[in-house]
Amino acid sequence: MIHVNQTVIDEPAILAEMQYHPADSQQQAMAKAAESLVIGELLRQRASELGLHVADENKQASDDDFLAALIEREVAIPEADEQACATYYQQNPERFTTSPLLEVRHILLAAAPDDELDRVNAKMMAEQIIKQLHEGDDFSRLAQQHSACPSSATAGSLGQISRGQTVAEFERQVFTANTGLLPNPVETRYGFHVVAVDRKIEGKQLPYDAVKDKIAAYLNEKVERKAVAQYIHTLIQAAEIKGFDFAVSDSPLLQ
């Protein structure tokens, strides 16, 4: 059992709460459930101390309802000003740049993610194809002969692509590459790709006026999350809690 000041949270309550906290193990799920119940109880106790009436006549008040009421009452959250937004824009130009556009051809040597031998063979074949291309072989012919992608019917062409249209592991290597044939195969969950970047149009930075509202919203949300975490930490520090140790919790909320 867990004691939160004078209130007891028993095992059946924790087991019932576990369904809302999927985890890699039952122990982790129980810890997450227990943490959630402890924090919820702390919020309710603090609201009661302050005489806050949070309950809605149409529904039972949730932890979020109690937290919102307490934050409004006890925490002053500053909003990002023009200078903070402008500084963020200047320090993070890559966040406000449109995606590059690439014209790409590829040859996919397919291999299942969990088949180590198949992946070794696919990588060796991809390296051999790259060698053949350097020796003057035709990309279109090799794509038609070897590629497991439907693009083999169009000489391996993927057309014009931007970020978000292909898997992340493909993008990480292809979008940072120079034009031409990539010197090494690109590994993805699907196998190994021989890739040629035929054309690259660099992204353009968006003007500050077009993104300043989004920057303000992002910074305000970031400050609010930090303020909420600090407020909950304050409640934890002031409470007498037995049977649960927040010091070993890896909760993103508390971090």
**Across the chain, what does the average pLDDT equal?**
92
How confident is the model at residue 151, as a pLDDT? 96
pLDDT (tens digit per residue) in 179-228? 999 999 999 999 999 999 999 999 999 999 999 999 999 999 999 999 99
Q: CATH: 3.40.640.10, 3.40.50.2020, 3.10.50.40, 3.40.50.300. Which one for 98-201? A: 3.10.50.40
Q: Where are the beta strands (DSSP E) in 100-252?
A: 101-110, 157-161, 180-181, 186-188, 191-201, 241-242
How confident is the model at residue 253, as a pLDDT? 46
Q: Are 192 and 111 in contact (CB under 8 A)?
A: yes
Residue 57 clears pLDDT 70, i.e. is over it? no
How confident is the model at residue 59, as a pLDDT? 66
**All structural domains of the chain with their residue ranges:** 2-81+210-248, 98-201
How confident is the model at residue 54, as a pLDDT? 81
Which distant-in-sequence residues (6+ apart) come within 8 Å of 227 by Cβ? 71, 75, 77
How confident is the model at residue 115, as a pLDDT? 95
Residue 230 structure tokens: 């600090």
**Cα–Cα dist 164/176, whole Å:** 14
In which band, very low, low, confident or very high, does the pLDDT at 165 lie, cut at 50, 70 and 90?
Answer: very high
Residue 137 clears pLDDT 80, i.e. is over it? yes
In which band, very low, low, confident or very high, does the pLDDT at 58 lie, cut at 50, 70 and 90?
Answer: low
Q: Are 147 and 108 in contact (CB under 8 A)?
A: yes
Residue 255 clears pLDDT 50, i.e. is over it? no
Average pLDDT over residues 218-241: 94
How confident is the model at residue 254, as a pLDDT? 45
How confident is the model at residue 148, as a pLDDT? 96
In which band, very low, low, confident or very high, does the pLDDT at 62 lie, cut at 50, 70 and 90?
Answer: confident
**Cα–Cα dist 111/242, whole Å:** 52
Residue 96 clears pLDDT 80, i.e. is over it? yes
pLDDT (tens digit per residue) in 7-18? 999 999 999 999
- The phi, psi pair for 181, rounded to 5°, reads -80, 125
SS3 159: strand
Average pLDDT over residues 134-146: 96
Q: Are 100 and 175 in contact (CB under 8 A)?
A: yes
